Structures are given as C-alpha cells and as structure tokens.
Amino acid sequence: MTRARTFGLPLPGTPGPLNAITDVPGVEVGVTTLISGDGPLRPGEGPVRTGVTAVLPRGRADATVPCAAGMYSLNGNGEMTGAHWIAETGALTLPVLVTNTHAVGACHRGAIAWAHRERPDGREWALPVVAETWDGYLNDIDGDHVRPEHAVAAIDAARGGPVPEGSAGGGTGMNCYGYKGGNGTSSRQVRYASRTYTVGTFVQANFGTRAQLTVCGVPVGAALADDNPMQDTDWLGLAGAGSVIVLVGTDAPLLPGQCTALARRVPLGLARTGTFGQHSSGDIFLAFSTANPGALTSGFPTGEEDYETMRFIPWNRIDPFYEAVVQSVEEAVLNALLAARTMIGRDGHRSPSLPHDRLKSLLTARGVL
C-alpha cells in the first residue's frame, strides 16, 4: 500500500511508529467492508460498495470509560449523532462509527446492541456517535446493505496496529477530489515537558473537486483535469459534492474545551490539500483525549465532598498540539488518495485512482521531489 511518505512527499512533523491514529495508546480501529455485484443498479440488491469503520478511543477493554471530547462543524450538510451530549458534558463514551449517509440508523442500533452485549447488566441508555459521508455514486445507498450486525462486526474487529486505508470500511465507496478516496490516517509526536504525547487523526475523505487538489503546496488539480468521470457527467449535479469526517485522538491531558479547539484546527489541514469547504459538503470533526480516565463519569455523588479532577495542558502551551492536528490531517487525506485504487460501482460508475506517476512528475518539475 502506497502512503505519502513512501511516495516521497516531504511532509513536516514527526509521526509515530505507525503514522496512524492507533499510535495513540489504547486506540483501536476495525472495519467491515461490503463489496458485491456489478452492472446496473438494482435497488436493494446492489451493486454494493460500502461499509463501516469503528474507532474505539480506549479499546474494547475500556470502551465505556469516558474521554474528554469536543466537536466542530465547518459545514453542516452531514450528520454526527451524539453531538449534543458531547457539547453538554464534554464526554465521549462508546465506539465511534463512520459509514454512509443512509446507514447511520443501522450503525446506531448496532452500537447499542454491542454495548448491551458487552455489559448486559449495564444501564439501558446510550447515545452512540455515528458519522457519515455519501457513497451513492458507487453504491446502492438506498439498499439497506449496512445492517446493525455489520457495525457490531466492525467494533469486534477493532485492533491496534496498522489501519486499513483507501477503500475499506466506511470509506469503501467514497471519492475525493474526483479520485477514489476513503480512509486515511496519520499521527504526530509532540514533546511537552518531560513527556512525548501523540496526536493521531483518522479521515473518511469524500470531498473536493479535481481543480482544487493541492499536494505539498503545488496546485496539481488543473494539470490532472482529464479522466474525471464524476465531473464530466456532473452526475445528478453532484460533481464535487461530498463530505469529510475527521476524528482526532490524543493521549495528552486536555479539557473538553481544548478538544474542541483541536477539532477547530482540522479545516486548516484540509485546506492544505485544496478544499475551501463547499456548501454541499458535510465537514464535521471530533477530537478526544484518552487522559484523565477517572473524570467525566457523570456519576452520582457519594457525599458532599465528592469531586472529579482533571489534569490538562495549560492553554498557553497548546500550540504544538494545534500544529500536530494540521500536519496529520493533511497527511491523512494524502494517504487516503494514494492508497485507494480505481473502483467501478453501480451503473458502471467509475472512480479512478490518483495517477502516481503523473503526480510524481508534476511535483518533480516544481522541485518538491
């Protein structure tokens, strides 16, 4: 699998060993990928090009232990369930699921089923976080192919280690800058006092038009304008339409408001790849911190002197973490584009892969490579 650094892109910052969100200790990622059928659309039968990605901030062992969290919406033409409770409490509990737009309900039900299976004696209340982008250009999106059991399977498959990129999980049917898009991830190490912390990002990339594409500061999109089936047909007037979901995780101790501040820096990393956040795009971001595991429990007090405490990075020392978000988001998008391969879906719709050789030539001519 080709990634930005193996391709030779001179990207700033120091990544973790995996250069993935799973460099954050405890974070696990799993996918369920659904690919079947070819030819004309037969609603309810396929072709199917979709799936589910599960991100577990504390892994399965501690999945119900809250994390400090905050979210930010650059453009609201999309969905992330559970956002109101995160805004209210600053806490994230349970796995985060990312899928296609019309599968949010199935994944929400699946997350609840998984939680009840894991803790049958637990409380009968849950507000899962499920986010989405639209894969209807390649997928029979109205066919209800993603079922609750697929969400459960993605959570059960979650592990540390390398993260599947490109056409995997929820990113299976996604497009980015007129090329095949999907899942991407990256990480950065941040030195603070005597500790080294990790900031990791995961993107489900499904946004942008070909003309916008920028790589390492070079606007390459115009030179790659050909072989752009979605733009050429302007299918349903949706050329360039789409969304992007970004999850940011860190083991640095942060307040919920500081997690929100990290989420607000995500658009700066996306902008480095060329997008300006189109009206037709749902651009929604969530950041969480795995530090302070005993806080934000919303538990009932046991006495008048019962308090929760949190340790956090001082606000005036947080800038290196902002920088890490921007750098890792840019690289995660490029990893998604470089990893994805050409896919043909419903009605013969084709999403071409980013042409590596042509990109390399363009960047070499500009002195980047």
**Residue 368 CB burial class (10 angstroms; 0-12, 13-18, ≥19):** middle
Per annotation, catalytic residue among 186, 187, 281, 351: 281
Mark whether 281 is an active-site residue.
yes
Pairing of strands 242-250, 281-289: parallel
Please say whether the beta carbons of 254 and 295 come within 8 A.
Answer: no
**Structure-token match 């699946």, residue found:** 110
Per annotation, catalytic residue among 283, 289, 328, 353: 283
Concatenated DSSP letters of 313-325: --GGG-HHHHHHH
Q: Which residues pair with 197 in a beta bridge?
A: 190
Q: What is the CA radius of gyration of the chain?
A: 20
Mark whether 351 is an active-site residue.
no
For the chain, list the strands marked E by DSSP.
28-36, 48-56, 67-76, 91-92, 96-100, 129-133, 175-176, 179-180, 182-192, 195-206, 214-215, 218-219, 242-250, 281-289, 343-344, 350-351
Euclidean distance between CA atoms 28 and 297, whole angstroms: 21
Mark whether 186 is an active-site residue.
no
Residues involved in catalysis? 243, 281, 283
